[in-house]
Structure 1
Amino acid sequence: MPSHRQLEAFYWTAKLGTLGACAEKICTTQSAVIKRIRQLEQTLGVRLFAREGRHNVLTDEGRTAMRMAEPLLQQHASLLQQFRAPNKPIQRLSIGVTEITAITWLPVLIRQLKLHYPGIILKIVIGMHAELQQMLLNNTIQLSIQQQLPPDSLLHCVDIGELRLMWVGGPEMSTTRSYYLREIASMPIIRQNHESALSQAYDDWLRPHTADSAVFTINSLIATASLVAAGQGISCLPEEYFAPMVTSGQLVRLPTRKQQPRLMYCALFRKQDRNIALYRDVTRIAQAVCRFVPAL
């Protein structure tokens, strides 16, 4: 019968991709992780992983085992939560995220938080960069996942992952040449309002040039992409999420002579807070699952 430790070592190695990351997560050594996975493979009579470079990739049998292991681990955590500390108050957490997180890896983050903290009550707020920062300072939310801010004496800022951006136009745009900054600045740009870090990223990237016109100000990435595809202007959008629209020909990536913009996403939380250990753990989970690709 597989043990909880064996399932835990298997699950986190699969989830995080390396033995070292798993060992750090479950507070043990790599050799202990290897031993537990081998014992599990012997018990099940299958090979769970194949090596690809430095990463452990699930086999077909491993993927099946992964789907079955997650609810078992969740049931184990629920059992401990119920009987080890029955009088412990229910954990509540308010998290602010921007749109790109909401439409990509937020569902995975929520699932992992509920796995780690059975019974947790989550409140999710979706907002713009400046709005979330103010809500955090006002204690309306406890943790914000958003674009990196300048140093703030009141806030911790921990890097989570990089968001790559790309300039795109409609199908009529040329992809056989590189565009100068002044050419991008002269085109009608579909952008978000001043509270968005994306809007600031456009302006920073275009310097010393200034955009001549903004034909629309829209606080929706999906609507922006649709208008660009319809030939109403150009915009700068998250690369990984909108790559399928480029592949299908709905959008055209505009090559530029300057490297295209990038934004660092981070977790923000107040330095003076009694739940700071929780926020750090949530941040570690966010680092493990952060991927700006379309949600499955």
Structure 2
Amino acid sequence: MSINRISLYHLETLLWIARLGTFAAAAEKLNTTQPAISARIGELEERLGAKLFQRNGRAANLTPAGRQLVREYRPIWDQLQDTLLRSAGFDQIRGIVRVGAGEIAAATCLPRFVAETQDRWPDLTFEIEIELTAPMIQALLNGRIDLAFAAGMVAHPALRATPIGAAELLWVASPPVAKQMEEESDAVFSLWSLPSHSPIYQVMKDALDEIPVKKHVINLCSNVRMIIDIVTIGNGFALIPKSMIRSQLENGSLVQIMAGWQVEPIMFHVVARAAEGDPVVNQVVRYASGLTLESDPFVRGSRVGRVGAPSSL
């Protein structure tokens, strides 16, 4: 055993493979190649005199010796990273943080979050993906993104979440369609919604038995702004976050309908991996958790929840 020849990058590589599940994912995270990752693990195994991974196709599964090493070393690594950042007063935060956000968060708190964090840490850069909640949560679990601004209250033991506010939802239509809905109760109307794995779709479906429009055809679109455009030009009605249609409501191109059939607001959370060990990501997540959904009622929960990919998405 040659432990004096083991470097921090060997152990960092071990932890990222254990967390992400494949050599390829670890290579992408560490900005290197898969052969370089394989070489590091080969060196580490040789110097420890123990096999750490069993390869099964692309998947890399820890051996008993590997699991023990990861369990005992991870707290040391996390403490080392936090100590280094504290000694620098967090002024040296740098690197690329990958963020996932839904359209509502992207239209409210996300621009302010990016501007403020980059003003505070100029060397920090972002890669942002705008996505629906279910695939965004899966990307977080797979390690393709580092944190997410996600809609809905769901559960997953590998994730932690902090509520940052609630988005009010309104039934809306163009003025001509709104008038037709009042005058022609037997007509068939188009109802536009996000896909079935969206929390807003579930809210909409739960409300359908109560609303007075009994004849409708549900159309799906993965883009909220496209739905807004479709409804604004006079095709059907939709359940839309108020924060995304303020200008249309003000200029009269959209009007609220069925005001007596209000639905519960959608709660938003900042979501990260529960076992996240990267101190830069953890610091950014802590900063993001202090945000609110701009121009929407702020509802902060009294406890941290857990978010994931449930049946409601």
- For the aligned pair, the TM-score class normalised by the smaller chain equals 0.5 to 0.7
Structure 1 counterpart of 2:275, which letter?
Answer: Q
TM-score for the superposition, normalised by structure 2? 0.57
For residue 168 of structure 2, the aligned residue among 164, 168, 184 is 164
Does the aligned pair in 1 maintain the 2:149–2:269 contact within 8 Å? yes
Does the aligned pair in 2 maintain the 1:166–1:261 contact within 8 Å? no
**Count of aligned pairs between the two proteins:** 209
SS of 2:163's equivalent in the other structure is: strand
What is aligned with 2:127?
123
What is aligned with 2:229?
226
Return 107-116 or 136-145, whichever deviates more. 107-116
What is aligned with 1:190?
192
What is aligned with 2:267?
264
Q: Which has the larger radius of gyration?
A: 2
Q: Which has the higher contact order (CA 8 A, sep 6+)?
A: 2
- Please list every run of 5 or more consecutive structure 1 residues that lacks an aligned counterpart in the other structure: 1-80
Residue 152 of structure 1 deviates from its aligned partner by 1.6
Question: CA separation in 2, counterparts of 1:254 and 1:280?
Answer: 43
What is aligned with 2:6?
none
What is aligned with 2:5?
none
TM-score for the superposition, normalised by structure 1? 0.60
Structure 2 counterpart of 1:231, which letter?
Answer: G
1:255 aligns with 2:250: no
Return 160-169 or 211-220, whichever deviates more. 211-220
What is aligned with 1:153?
157
C-alpha change, 1:233 and 1:255, in structure 2 (3 Å) is same
Structure 1 counterpart of 2:265, which letter?
Answer: R
What is aligned with 2:96?
92
Does the aligned pair in 2 maintain the 1:98–1:129 contact within 8 Å? yes
Does the aligned pair in 1 maintain the 2:134–2:198 contact within 8 Å? yes
C-alpha change, 1:247 and 1:224, in structure 2 (3 Å) is same
C-alpha change, 1:196 and 1:212, in structure 2 (3 Å) is farther
SS of 1:269's equivalent in the other structure is: strand
C-alpha change, 1:200 and 1:149, in structure 2 (3 Å) is same
Residue 244 of structure 1 deviates from its aligned partner by 1.9
Does the aligned pair in 2 maintain the 1:143–1:279 contact within 8 Å? no
- Percent identity over the alignment is 19
Does the aligned pair in 2 maintain the 1:193–1:219 contact within 8 Å? yes
Structure 1 counterpart of 2:196, which letter?
Answer: H
Residue 283 of structure 1 deviates from its aligned partner by 4.3
Matches within 5 A, 1:17-36: none
Does the aligned pair in 2 maintain the 1:190–1:215 contact within 8 Å? yes
- Please list every run of 5 or more consecutive structure 2 residues that lacks an aligned counterpart in the other structure: 1-84, 297-313
SS of 2:268's equivalent in the other structure is: strand
What's the CA shift string for 1:174-219, capped at 9, x where partnerless?
A: 58x99xxxx79x7420111123222122112335789854453222
How large is the Cα RMSD of the aligned pairs? 3.6
SS of 1:287's equivalent in the other structure is: coil
